[in-house]
């Protein structure tokens, strides 16, 4: 068993990297990163790519107005079905 993160190989660390990023962990504080220049450089590259991706694909939330339009449209449907 290689539970000690300091003794893990670069391949083992890099295999865990997507999971670490996914959990939002502070990867720069990881013992392997602290002791491995290679993986520090890799992480820096990944962060640059991630930052570029955020700028290319910003998260656009639907404006409240849109939902108000949808709600009023549904309301009108209901009202028209009552008459008759
Ligand atoms: Zn490494």
**Centroid of ligand 1 to alpha carbon of 48 (angstroms):** 18
The reported pTM is 0.55
Report DSSP letters for the chain, one per residue: ----GGG--HHHHHHHHHHHHHTT--GGG-HHHHH-HHHHHHHHHHHHHHHHHHHHSPPPPPPHHHHHHHHHHHHHHHHHHH--
Give pLDDT, residue 3.
Answer: 64
Give pLDDT, residue 1.
Answer: 47
Give 1-27 pLDDT, tens digit per residue.
456 766 889 999 999 988 888 888 888
**Centroid of ligand 1 to alpha carbon of 33 (angstroms):** 7
Give pLDDT, residue 36.
Answer: 94
Q: Kindly report the backbone phi and psi dihedral angles of residue 60, in degrees, each rounded to the nearest multiple of 5, phi listed first.
A: -105, 115
Give 64-76 pLDDT, tens digit per residue.
887 888 888 889 8
Among 45-49, 56-60, 79-83, the minimum mean pLDDT is found in 79-83
């Amino acid at each position: 068993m290689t539970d000690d993160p300091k003794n893990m190989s670069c391949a083992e660390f890099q295999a865990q990297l997507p999971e670490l990023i996914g959990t939002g962990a502070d990867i720069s504080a990881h013992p392997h990163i602290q002791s491995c220049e290679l993986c520090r450089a890799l992480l820096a590259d990944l962060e640059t790519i991630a930052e570029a991706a955020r700028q290319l694909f910003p998260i656009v939330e639907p404006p409240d107005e849109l939902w108000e339009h949808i709600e009023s449209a549904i309301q009108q449907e209901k009202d028209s079905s009552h008459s008759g």
